[in-house]
Every structure is written in structure tokens, then in C-alpha cells.
Amino acid sequence: MMQRCFLVLIWWIQAAQSSPCAHRYYGNDHTVCVCNSTYCDSIPEYDFSSASSYIRFTSDKAGQRFEKSEGFFSYETTPECSTRLFIHSTKLYQTIQGFGGAFTDSAVMNIKSLSKDAQENLLSAYFSMKGSRYNLGRVPIGGTDFSSRKYTYCDNADEKTSKLNFSLTEEEYEGKIPLLQKALELNPELRLIAASWTAPAWMKTNNDYVNGSLKEEYYQMYTDYLLTFLEEYRDQGLGMWAISTGNEPITEYLKYVRINSMSWTPAAMATWVSRNLGPTLSKSRHNQTLIFGLDDNRGHLTSFYEEFLSYESCTNYITGTAIHWYQDDTTSASLLDQTHYKFPEKLLVLTEASIIPDTTKSKKPVSLGSWNRGERYMLNIIENLEHWIAGWLDWNLVLNQDGGPSWARNNVDASIIVNPVADEFYKQPMFYAIAHFSSFIPRNSVRIGVSQYNKSTGIKSVAFLTPNNEIVVVISNTSTKEQQVTIYDLHKGHISVRLEAKSFHTLIYKQLLCY
């Protein structure tokens, strides 16, 4: 009896040290990891036992979450049926900026619905060294469709002086700003990307938060509005790394979409950037803040963005290209290659992704524990990284069990779902899909070459060289069967592993420097 108790105690100590997932099952192989005010799973630390060792982290549909194992390189004969991956560590592509998500009003409201200790665990899960290590955050300027109301910071014009009556809102002071400050404490490497969904309604052609365009007479005043936002946030210790030209400028032409929005033509946007936003920003104390163009789906890279960048007067002010994922199933990733080769000096960053439910099949936007949705994230991240994307951001960091709140009833799924009644939050497979990248690929890592033979097995992969001279290989097995995979490194030998059915893997090993 004492021996059994002793073994249970040892297991408990080991479990406490590694903080494993506390599973909850929702049927059909759907599982989440439950966190609360006293407990949350974390990502195990790792070290190499020798120069010839590697570390593997595995998550799968069956329930594993960052299961850590260690193995060793070999020069022995490999199985003939193995899918072969060849690492080309001297073939360098884009430098990685990072991974993250958006601090929408809805996300902030849901985080604040939890107890203080549960909030701490949630933010730690995203931003701390034992969590996903998010180092990019998207910050809306004013309200979005994921707010409880429509608003900007200047909803009332001063008719006598035409000056801005700019004022941050309760959403800022009670919500976004304190949580952003806490996230920055957890990860000082956090960089913020600001984006406005619309100008104040009175500056627009239709006097509304939805659709319409900016009146040319207000081009400079709207620019001043954006610069005032940068000033106010900087005063709170929250400087912006980048600002976009505006969220989804094509939305008005999608008649079935009604969210906070403001439309632009390429010519009008080029005029505004070259005459107002660019010069004003460059002459301000925010002249190190980058300007990202587009901030819309990659299908608009040719139809909108190339024409916009054809205006030389604005091109030099644009540092990067912000892209959303919502047309990725119907538009080729080759559009990213095309943009990169035409404008190689411009960063490519995916700034928004979320699962929009197919309402013809289900009215519930949240599917707790869906492995399929996590796999969609995993495959999309791999595809985009393979085509020059340097950063990938999720949409709402947190939503409730209905996928909201959203004033526009535009409810979607999220990587973390909260249950304030139970004071719990649920980490979904989508969370772990992103974390298989964000936790192990720090900023300034470089994508390297990886070639694959026997491509009919459902194996997708991408590889990186980190500033710490580690090789990181992320692999997805989409097959319903185990797959044998062998990874070859010319300088170290090979790794032969069996990948569980429906699984994500991150393999890490030290690069050999003496060649």
C-alpha cells in the first residue's frame, strides 16, 4: 500500500512539474484543455542531452498536447516506406517577425469576465515563456464588429472649429490598455500593430460607421485622429510597431457583410497615404512606426494592392503588406509569391484569421475541441510561411461560448473560449496549432529549405533556423493513419519517427556549426 502511494506521489509531482492538459471531452473526438484560477497546462521546457539529440513535441486528435520526447540522430538504414524530408539549412528565405492575436473589445470583455487569477493564467498561456510566447498583437483603433457597440474616439464634431474632440473610451481605460500592459510585462518582445476599421461617421460620405468612404476634405483630420491615437497609447507605454491603412477596404463591395468599415479605391488611398498619412507620420515622433497596406484578403493583392503600389508617391511610405485569410481556400498562395517578387522589400504579415461557421450546417459558431479547425490553422500557417509570410496573427484572442459578443452578430470561433459562470477557459486545438510555431520560433528566425519525397501521405512541413542556432521543423500529419517520417540533415545524419494519426509535431535540434 505504501509503495502504491509513493508511486502516486511521484506521478503527481511529475505531473505538477510538467503541467499537463486537463482534458474535457465533447464527443466526436473533440477535446479541450481546461484552465481556471488555480491550474493551467504549460509547455514543457527542454534541453539537449547531447549534440546528437533532438526534442519532439507532439499534439494529436487523440488528446496529446505538447507531449515531449527525446531521440537521437542516426546513420543506420531507414525504412523504405518512410516519407523523407531533407533539411537545407543554407537555403534561406524570409525572416520571421512572430505570431499573435487581436485585442478586440470582445476578447478583453471575455478575459475580464474571469476572476483575477484566471485572467493571469489566461494571459500567461498566451504571452509568457511557459505559454505560447505571442510576440505580435493587433490593436483596433476604436470599435470593430467585435465590440458591444459602434463607436470611434471622436463621434462628435466641433462644428465651429472643425477640431477633433478625441477621447479614449472606457473600453480602453478599463480594458484594452491594462491587459496590453500586462501582456507586455509577460513578454517584453511584444510588438503591436494598430488598425482602424472606420473614421468617425461624420467624416464619411454616408455619415455611418458601416460602409461609405472618407470625404477628401477630412483626409488630414482623419490622419490627425490616427496620430492622436498613437500619442495616447504611447503615453500609456504602448508604442505601436506598425499601423495599417485600414481594415478591409473592399468590404463595402461585399453586400452581405455589414461591419464597421470604410471603403477606399486604390487611387484615393494612394493620395491619402502620399499627401497625409505618410508625411505626417514621418515628421512626428512616431516616425519609426511602420505603415502596412491592404489589410484584406490575398485575392485583392492583384485587383487592388498592385494598383495602389503603382503610385510611386506612396510606395516609399509603405513598409509591409497586411493580409487576411478568408479567401485562402479559393485563391492561390502564388499571389503571395507574386507580391513578394514584385515588392521584395515589403514585409508580408497575415493579420487576421478566424473560423467562420457554415450556417447552412450549424448555427453554432463555436465547436469546442474541434481538431478539424485546429488542423485548418496548422495547414494555413504552413502554407503562408512557405510563401513569404513573416508573421501570422489570429483574430480574437478570446471569445465566449457563443463566439461573441459582436454587435454585428458576426460570431466566430476562437482559440480560447471562456466560461465565466464556472470561472474556466478552454484551450482549443487551434490554440495548440499556433503554439507549435510561436513557442519555438522566436523573432529573427529564418525559414530554411525543406524538400519532401513521397508527398501522398498527408505530411506537410516547414523548417527554420533560430537565432540560437537551433533547427525547428514543424510537421502536420493529416492522415487518419500513423506515418513513418525520416528527416535528413546532411551534417548530422537522420531522424526517423512515427507520427501519430491526425497530429502536429515540432522537432528541435542544434545546428552543427563546424562545417
Distance between CA atoms of residues 335 and 304, nearest Å: 12
Strands 391-396 and 347-352: parallel
Q: What is the CA radius of gyration of the chain?
A: 24
**Cβ count within 10 A of residue 175:** 19
**Grid coordinates belonging to 200:** 468617425
Distance between CA atoms of residues 100 and 132, nearest Å: 9
**483-489 sheet: strands from edge to edge:** 67-72, 53-60, 503-510, 470-477, 459-465, 446-453, 83-95, 483-489, 493-499
Cell 528566425 belongs to which residue? 445
CB distance 436 to 504 below 8 Å:
yes
User: Which among 392, 391, 388, 266 is positioned nearest to 338, based on CA atoms?
Assistant: 388
Which helix (H) or strand (E) element contains residue 275? none
User: Which among 442, 510, 506, 396 is positioned nearest to 129, based on CA atoms?
Assistant: 442
- Which residues pair with residue 243 across a beta bridge? 194, 291
Of these residues, 67, 172, 248, 424, which one is catalytic?
248
Of these residues, 171, 172, 352, 424, which one is catalytic?
352
User: Which among 181, 152, 177 is positioned nearest to 232, based on CA atoms?
Assistant: 177
Strand intervals (E) in 168-277: 191-196, 242-244
In the residue annotation, 248 being an active-site residue is answered as yes
Distance between CA atoms of residues 464 and 452, nearest Å: 15
In the residue annotation, 252 being an active-site residue is answered as no
Q: Which residues are catalytic?
A: 248, 352
